[in-house]
Amino acid sequence: MATVVMEQIGRLFINAQQLRQIPQLLESAFPTLPCTVKASDVPWVFREPHILTGYRQPDQSWRYYFLTLFQRHNEALNVWTHLLAALIILVKWQEISETVDFLREPHAQPLFIVLLAAFTYLSCSALAHLLSAKSELSHYTFYFLDYVGVAVYQYGSALAHFYYAIEGDWHTRVQGFFLPAAAFFAWLSCLGCCYGKYASPGLPKFAHKLFQVVPSGLAYCLDISPVVHRIYSCYQQGCSDPAVAYHRYQVLFFLISAYFFSYPHPECWFPGKCDFFGQGHQIFHVFLVLCTLVQVEALRIDFTERRPLYEQLHGDLAHDAIALFIFTACCSALTAFYVRKRVRTALHEKEE
């Protein structure tokens, strides 16, 4: 009996010794990261108005920037909001795929595209905020990737709205130009954002914003028009369509997010107080995520409940729409690649 007890005590002692090693193992796996620095300690391209501290040091290893996912810095919340939202989209995708055959059902393909587009823009945004601090070229590269993701999402949203949310009379008015125009405005948005970023050293801050906001605003006005018309028609008829309620929230959340994207509130009122939490861009991220999630739910309901209407309106349009989606993504990616090449040349000339 005594021998058994001593064996048990010995095992407990060994387990206790192993438990003491856990902090050391964690420390070796996640080494102490360099402290964040002030705005004055990083190149101007990394600085944000009214954000005074919490910047990550440039010219570190890639491993460092990936590990900053678990560090407190002024981009951490921007990374996590879109990273978690991307994971939620994957879960929604899996749930919908249990009842919808995306490969064999042509009318489900626009729903597949908007889910893919949402996941793409959220993932690209998370990568941009996580990895752009490595160098000036990395900063431009990852934000150009972010702009490609935004263009892809703009066209994906336009396609899904046109396919599932549109009413018959609005379809008659816009069917001849809607999708080509949506593709053009999506590409124009990518071009405007990339050029505004590239030319920002010689532009006032408001001009830089104009290159981003105006093309994106034009794209949104077209892309959301089937939804706005649907909401107005429902209001006139006094309908109680559950999808329309989600569409209303989609518009509301987007307008709130657009406001916080365009204006640096509240950090302009409290410089240095919103460096880690409460920045306007963080609020923009939160409301844009809410917009995306309610949009996906609204389109899921429309896909289920409005099948007779969209089958009658669109026929075999889905195949052409997919081709236009791929074309838009390729044009946006080539545009971003070209502007990145210009940035790289400019940076090399500056170093010389």
Q: What CATH number does residue 328 fall under?
A: 1.20.1070
Q: What pLDDT score was predicted for residue 104?
A: 85
pLDDT in tens, 164-187: 999 999 999 999 899 999 999 999
Is the model's pLDDT at 136 over the cut of 70?
yes
User: What does the pLDDT read at residue 9?
Assistant: 43
For every residue of 122-136, DSSP letters joined together read: HHHHHHHHHHTTS-H
Q: Assign 33 a pLDDT band (cuts: 50, 70, 90).
A: confident
Judge whether 19 lies within some domain: no
Query: Is 281 annotated to bind ligand?
Result: yes
Residue 44 placed within a domain = yes
Closest CA to 157 of 304, 305, 255, 296: 296
Q: Give the burial string for 243-276 (b: 16+ CB within 10 Å, else e).
A: bbbbbbbbbebbebbbebbbebbebeeeeeebbb
What is the band of 201 on the pLDDT scale with cuts at 50, 70, 90? confident
* pLDDT for the residue numbered 239: 83
pLDDT at 89 over 70: yes
Q: Among 108-122, 206-220, 263-277, which is the least confidently predicted range?
A: 206-220
Q: Which are the contacts of 242, defined by CB distance < 8 A and separation ≥ 6?
A: 301
Report residue 110 as tokens.
Answer: 């626009």
Total domains in the fold of the chain: 1
What mean pLDDT comes out for the span 175-200? 94
Kindly state the average pLDDT of the residues 228-256.
Answer: 92
Give residue 40's pLDDT band: very low, low, confident or very high (50, 70, 90). Answer: very high
Boundaries of domain holding 128: 39-351
Does residue 275 sit within a domain? yes
What pLDDT does residue 105 have? Answer: 86
Question: Is residue 267 in a domain?
Answer: yes
**Is 314 annotated in some ligand binding site?**
no
Task: Give 281: exposed, middle or buried? Use CB within 10 Å, 0-12, 13-18, 19+.
Answer: buried
Asked whether 195 and 338 are in contact (CB, 8 A), the reply is: no
- In order of 190, 344, 346, the CA distances from 349 in angstroms are 25, 9, 5
Provide the percentage of residues in the chain whose pLDDT is more than 90.
70
Q: Which position has the higher pLDDT, 207 or 152?
A: 152
Over range 323-332, report the average pLDDT: 95
pLDDT for the residue numbered 227: 96
In a domain, 138, yes or no: yes
pTM comes to 0.88
Is there a domain that residue 13 lies in? Answer: no
Mean pLDDT of all residues in the chain? Answer: 89
- Residue 336 confidence (pLDDT): 97
Which pLDDT does position 28 carry in this prediction?
Answer: 55
d(CA 199, CA 55): 23
- pLDDT exceeds cutoff 90 at 290: yes
Q: Identify the pLDDT of residue 27.
A: 45
CA atoms within a 13 Å half-sphere pointing along the CA-CB vector of 4: 1
Q: Which residues of 96-107 are buried (b: 16+ CB within 10 A; e: fewer)?
A: beeebebeeebb
Is 231 within 8 Å of 251 (Cβ atoms)? yes
Beta bridge partners of 55: 37
Question: Is 247 labelled a binding residue?
Answer: no
* Residue 58 located in a structural domain: yes
